[in-house]
Structure 1
Amino acid sequence: IKPNDKTKYLFSELDDEKHKKAFKRAYTFDIRTRACDTARIMLPAATLTNVAMVANGRVFEHLLKRMYSSRHPEFKDIANRLHDTLNKVIPKYVKRANPEGEEFWQKTDEAIRENLQKYLPSCASWGGDTEAVKLHNVPRLLDNNRRSVYHLLAAVYFPYARVDYESLVQSFASLPYEQVLSMLSDAVGARSVRRDRSPRGFEHGYDITVEIVADFGVFRDLHRHRMCTLQWQRPNPHLGFEVPADIEKIGMKEACLAVEKEVRELYDDLEKELGDQFAEYVTLFGHKIRFMIGMNLREAQHMLELRSVAQGHPNYRHIAQRIHNLIIEKAPWLAKTDLFKFVDHNEYDWARADAEARQSQKALEKGLEI
């Protein structure tokens, strides 16, 4: 903590008041951060958060259309308030956003849901593989074979299903091919203008396509990435709940599991009465969620090196490390380059302490008050 000194000191070895103050600041921040990282598993998915956006008129128009078309009443409420605000600044850019929603998106969404229930009812119940990370072999989607169609449909229907991607592929392969093509047509939708965009699943086809089952907190961290296609299934309590070792050490594991059990029962009751789109709000950050990420090598480099840094949350660090290992297993020639040079596979106990100490050290070197 001493300026221009890389030696590590115990608090009892410090005599300068500025150095002691810097030590206490780093220590307090590190403890608070680790405590929050550990305790966040008990936060409800409905926990409010701040969202800031910088966008142009075209993006805001698209956002309003999406929110107005949602089945969630609160989305429509936020869209109304956002629309009122934007009308004061850029009214011409958002005039085409219809408060009744976009009929094309609503009908396409409903058709996919109905098809899943009608033709693949087994995929509408929670189940399937819950392996933490899987790297899928995705065929070339422009190849003229049925396997490509099955994989594309699995990607499109994935957010609506409750099983893993491979189970969806196998389920589509079990249907008559004419039925499969009909379900594909329904997913594309009855487009009447070029602005009628098909679902995000049609971005499918990346060489790096991973399926992840991790807690909601990890998903919230990873879904910030933009140079990729990320799709997820609804938050739910039926894919598992993992209690961190720190909570077990202080003897609160059973208390956490008791709360989780009550939440699971509440979710089931709400789902029966109101549907899963409302029940998902009571799930906890510690409940696991299934999601898929498709990306190219450049985005993989950025994501895996960023999410494996020493100061990162251990849960997403392990996900990043596993994805890196799977990529290298599939393409070992990449290991002969520096493409993933800074993916960190080391394990740390108090990684943020060093980072905080360096911040305090820099401040002291510049003569700044801490």
Structure 2
Amino acid sequence: MYVRETFSTEERAVLSRFFTNIDGPVFALTNLPEVVKGALFARYSRSPKSLRRLFLDEFYDQPEVPIEELAEDSDNQQMVSLNRAEGLYDRVFSQYGDDSVAQLGGAHIACEQASNLLTKVLEWGRLAAYLEQSTRYIFYDQKLGDRYRYIAPPEVETGPLAGEYTKTMDWLFDEYSELVHKCVPFFEDQFPRQDGDSKFIYTASIRAKACDSARGLLPAATTSNVGIFGTGQAYESMLIRMNSHPLEEARDYARMMLEELRKVIPSFLKRVDIPDRGGAWSGYFRDNHEAMERIAAGFDVEPDGIEEVSLVEWDHDAEDKIAAAALYAHTDLPDAQLQALVNGMSDSDKAEVIRAYSGDRQNRRHKPGRGMERSFYRFDVLSDFGSFRDLQRHRMMTLDWQRLGVKHGYSTPPAIEEVGWTQRWDDAMGRMSDFHDTLMNEHGPDVSQYVVPFGYKLRYSMQFNAREAFHMLELRTSQQGHPDYRRVCQEMHNLIRDKAGHKALADAMSYVDHGSYDLERLEAERRAEQKREASTAD
């Protein structure tokens, strides 16, 4: 079926070092620097040659190397022309402005000991992949060096409140440590280990329950580790935005990230700190931020009291539009004509179209197609910061958030009262509220966010289409989810069905779970153990 390209014995020996196969029409690249892969694909788009022939003709730099040396474990990077690749990349990207070239190479980077304010800055972009350390599986009762796992922001460390900051944060982590260890035996008594459950899965479920209950005391300064994989384009956008951020921590990490990324993908990041390129871009973001701050400062209005989750805007014709969008690829009709036909259908017929488009879903990963993207929902949410941290990871939506503060109050998990900790919980929240105000008077509202515990409420908006609703609401209401964000997503589903009136769409989200559970992680841990046992048996 495919034309098989002819290569000499010597060429095949070369190609075998850099391509996963030599004869098929589908193959992967290996053992090549990122800039070479990026430049090779950039050249590929403007050449009639196959990629493997292009590599041999224009990128492989040692045509006289004997075959026996190719079989040795020599330095592959010395066998391709880095200078040629970098030169081509510069011409295409810098001179011609082809930003798509910056999508052709990437890198993994780890950002450790980052505050939970910085993690949200790192994860703001849609174009990268992120994996963040979870507060759900780790007790934050151990010190890293000479302090608990929190950062002292540079602005505070050099200011008059440095000593009080350390004293207050150490006290808060002492409270957290005592609470989380009080929760463990409480939950063990409340939920005895069942026959058939290994000690491993039972302990993991109890620890998760204890962490879920106590995490509201952790401050936003709590450190986390974030692993990132991104393209050159994603990193450039991330670093330029971080360079304009009001927090010094974000700007410091941007500098460190740029330094390390230039060791692996230097050609992709040349514009970041050039004054009239990345510098001007960062200045644009900074100027816009300051202008909006000036305008917003003129509003002297107290916020209205609203529900935890409010559906503030939606597409009233969503089900009609989605039914038409679902049918579009299966007809030869213009969009407007097809929409008119659907508008004339009965409600039951439209519901049947949506049911057929959703199909017989065997699990929540079976999702209908892009026709579901025709509608939208916009929610205004006021939940604890801990829940926001989890929901913010859904970057395909349009999401924006306000500063973390103390004016909206805080939430108290039911377990806090059950273990007899209510007064100490309230005392801790009160002390941190007072210290937040002290810090704000000295350093302003951005820096004062560091001391706000996760239990305090944050306001944020979430706008997404129906297809994203399938993904987020079904995932975040699953049994193993944290009860706080489960409640937020359950209410979103209720509002889609009852307030928006989109019953057919709500019904199609068949894996939204409105149940309540005791040990939320237990079933997930059981399934994980079954998979481990099956893997061992194989």
The answer, yes or no, to whether TM exceeds 0.5 is: yes
From 382, 395, 406, the counterpart of 1:213: 382
1:264 and 1:283 in contact (8 A); partners too: yes
- Measured in 2, the distance between the counterparts of 1:206 and 1:271 equals 41
Residue 308 of structure 2 corresponds to 132
Residue 317 of structure 1 corresponds to 486
**Given residue 73 of structure 1, which amino acid in structure 2 is its aligned partner?**
E
2:409 and 2:457 in contact (8 A); partners too: yes
1:262 positional shift: 0.6
Residue 35 of structure 1 corresponds to 210
What value does the CA root-mean-square deviation take over the aligned residues? 2.5
- What is the SS of the residue equivalent to 1:51? strand
**How many corresponding residue pairs?**
285
What are the within-5 Å matches in structure 2 for residues 165-176 of structure 1? none
Residue 266 of structure 1 corresponds to 435
- Measured in 2, the distance between the counterparts of 1:362 and 1:58 equals 38
Identity %: 37
- Measured in 2, the distance between the counterparts of 1:333 and 1:80 equals 48
- Measured in 2, the distance between the counterparts of 1:292 and 1:359 equals 34
Residue 294 of structure 2 corresponds to 114
**Given residue 134 of structure 1, which amino acid in structure 2 is its aligned partner?**
S
**Given residue 236 of structure 1, which amino acid in structure 2 is its aligned partner?**
G
1:269 positional shift: 0.8
- What is the SS of the residue equivalent to 1:246? helix
From 223, 235, 240, the counterpart of 1:60: 235
User: For the structure 1 residues 266 and 11, does the alpha-carbon distance in structure 2 shift closer, same or farther, using more than 3 Å as the test?
Assistant: closer
- What is the SS of the residue equivalent to 1:219? helix
Greater alpha carbon shift after TM alignment, 281-290 vs 241-250: 241-250
Query: Which structure is higher in RCO with an 8 Å CA cutoff and minimum separation 6?
Result: 1
- Measured in 2, the distance between the counterparts of 1:222 and 1:214 equals 11
The answer to whether 1:82 aligns with 2:251 is: no
User: For the structure 1 residues 99 and 77, does the alpha-carbon distance in structure 2 shift closer, same or farther, using more than 3 Å as the test?
Assistant: farther
2:219 and 2:452 in contact (8 A); partners too: yes
1:41 and 1:217 in contact (8 A); partners too: yes
- Measured in 2, the distance between the counterparts of 1:36 and 1:344 equals 22
- Measured in 1, the distance between the counterparts of 2:244 and 2:384 equals 28
Task: Give the alignment's TM-score, normalised by structure 1.
Answer: 0.72
1:362 positional shift: 4.4
User: For the structure 1 residues 266 and 130, does the alpha-carbon distance in structure 2 shift closer, same or farther, using more than 3 Å as the test?
Assistant: farther
The answer to whether 1:69 aligns with 2:215 is: no
The answer to whether 1:45 aligns with 2:220 is: yes
Deviations 1:55-107 (A, max 9, x none): 11111111111011111111111111111112222222212113875221111
**Given residue 288 of structure 1, which amino acid in structure 2 is its aligned partner?**
K
**Given residue 427 of structure 2, which amino acid in structure 1 is its aligned partner?**
A
- Measured in 2, the distance between the counterparts of 1:264 and 1:99 equals 41
1:33 positional shift: 0.7
What are the within-5 Å matches in structure 2 for residues 1-370 of structure 1? 23-98=198-273, 101=279, 102-118=282-298, 120-122=299-301, 127-137=303-313, 207-335=376-504, 338-364=507-533
1:368 positional shift: 5.6
- Measured in 1, the distance between the counterparts of 2:397 and 2:210 equals 31
2:377 and 2:466 in contact (8 A); partners too: yes
User: Looking at CA atoms only, which structure, 1 or 2, has the larger radius of gyration?
Assistant: 2
1:57 and 1:90 in contact (8 A); partners too: yes
1:206 positional shift: 7.1
- What is the SS of the residue equivalent to 1:49? strand
- Measured in 2, the distance between the counterparts of 1:91 and 1:358 equals 44
User: For the structure 1 residues 68 and 367, does the alpha-carbon distance in structure 2 shift closer, same or farther, using more than 3 Å as the test?
Assistant: closer
Deviations 1:112-137 (A, max 9, x none): 1111223x233xxx633342000012
2:405 and 2:452 in contact (8 A); partners too: yes
2:312 and 2:380 in contact (8 A); partners too: yes
- What is the SS of the residue equivalent to 1:301? helix
1:281 positional shift: 0.4
Greater alpha carbon shift after TM alignment, 294-303 vs 345-354: 345-354
Structure 2 residues not aligned, in runs of 5+? 1-191, 317-373
- What is the SS of the residue equivalent to 1:261? helix
Task: Give the alignment's TM-score, normalised by structure 2.
Answer: 0.50
1:333 positional shift: 4.4
1:240 positional shift: 1.4
2:398 and 2:463 in contact (8 A); partners too: yes
Residue 52 of structure 2 corresponds to none
Deviations 1:157-182 (A, max 9, x none): xxxxxxxxxxxxxxxxxxxxxxxxxx
1:288 positional shift: 0.6
